[in-house]
Amino acid sequence: MSPSVRGVVTGVAGPAVALGRQGGRVLAGVARVLPVPGRAGLEQAAALTVSAVTGTVATALDVLVPAVVSAVLSRLDLTAVVTDQVDLDAVVRDVDVDAVAARLDIDAVIERMDLTALVRERVDLDAIVAEVDIDAVAARLDIDAVIQRMDLTALVRERVDLDAIVAEVDIDAVAARLDIDAVIDRVDLVGLAQEVMDALDLPAIIRGSTASVASESVQDVRLQTIAADEVVTRVVDRLLLRRRHHPSIPDGAVAPLQEAAPVPDAVPVQREVAARSPRP
């Protein structure tokens, strides 16, 4: 005998015994209370008995029913029974969901939830954003207010590659649209030219450039005449049957020129002569 069933039997037998004992004590009481048998007394005794029995049975049922139900439920697959036997749709249809929702403490529910993690795990944000009408959002956006709060200069300096942008700019096209005449009208060309002329020593520049060109030309002529001298000397040497051309250094010229070498302002020719290598 299983413990549950034993409990049930004990729960049923106990009250029954108690019922018998209680009936006996009631009849005995009746006998003592009623010295003369009568109808009224019997009705009263019966009522008392019924009342006692009813209370006893109720007490027994209070013990018996839960035990029996528990035993029965433990042997049943209540979910399957409900699924098979109950029309849940009909039940739910009759439920006043609004009333349930009205009683629901949404804030408390949300407080217990990690909505951020929940959204990240369960929501396809890309799909949602893809369906968002960005144009409509942008149309409602107060761009001026947004820009007002931003330091655009610093933002551009930090985030924008200005060199790359400028490199792609069509300067020619920009210049083509430029109103040069208007720019020139605003410039004091005469004053500007005067300032430039004042800053530059133009005559000195012209003299320098002219002198440079003339100097190069003169040097070319000098070198050519030197080469011509060499040719003439070789021809004369051949005509006169000279084997070797003699140095053309002045006899006494070298010594005084060498003395001039230590003088800082001495012209280079003295140093050249002093440190001269064999004649080219």
Q: How far is the CB of 203 from another protein (least distance, A)?
A: 20
* Closest CB to another protein among residues 57, 260: 260
Contacts of residue 52, defined as CB under 8 A and 6 or more positions apart, other chains included, come to: 22, 23, 26
Q: How far is the CB of 210 from another protein (least distance, A)?
A: 15
Q: Which of 12, 48, 57, 260 binds another protein (CB under 8 A)?
A: 260
CA 49 to chain centre: 86
* Closest CB to another protein among residues 91, 255: 255
* Closest CB to another protein among residues 60, 273: 273
Contacts of residue 86, defined as CB under 8 A and 6 or more positions apart, other chains included, come to: none
* Closest CB to another protein among residues 113, 228: 228
Tokens of residue 202, six digits: 């133009």
- 182-219 CB burial, b ≥16 within 10 A, e <16: eeeeeeeeeeeeeeeeeeeeeeeeeeeeeeeeeeeeee
Number of residues that bind another protein (CB under 8 A): 45
Contact call for residues 13 and 64 (beta carbons, < 8 A): no
Contact call for residues 263 and 248 (beta carbons, < 8 A): no
Q: Is 114 in the site for another protein (CB under 8 A)?
A: no
Q: Is 263 in the site for another protein (CB under 8 A)?
A: yes
Diameter of the chain by CA atoms? 200
Q: Is 26 in the site for another protein (CB under 8 A)?
A: no
* Closest CB to another protein among residues 60, 257: 257
Calpha distance 58→56 (Å, rounded): 5
* Closest CB to another protein among residues 43, 272: 272
Residues in 216-255 at the binding interface with another protein, rule: CB under 8 A? 218-219, 221-223, 225-226, 228-230, 232-233, 236, 240, 242, 245-255
Q: How far is the CB of 280 from another protein (least distance, A)?
A: 4
Q: Distance from first CA to last CA of the chain, Å, rounded?
A: 140
Residues in 135-154 at the binding interface with another protein, rule: CB under 8 A? none
Contacts of residue 248, defined as CB under 8 A and 6 or more positions apart, other chains included, come to: 279
Q: Is 277 in the site for another protein (CB under 8 A)?
A: yes
Contacting positions for another protein (CB under 8 A): 215, 218-219, 221-223, 225-226, 228-230, 232-233, 236, 240, 242, 245-257, 259-260, 263-270, 272-273, 276-277, 279-280
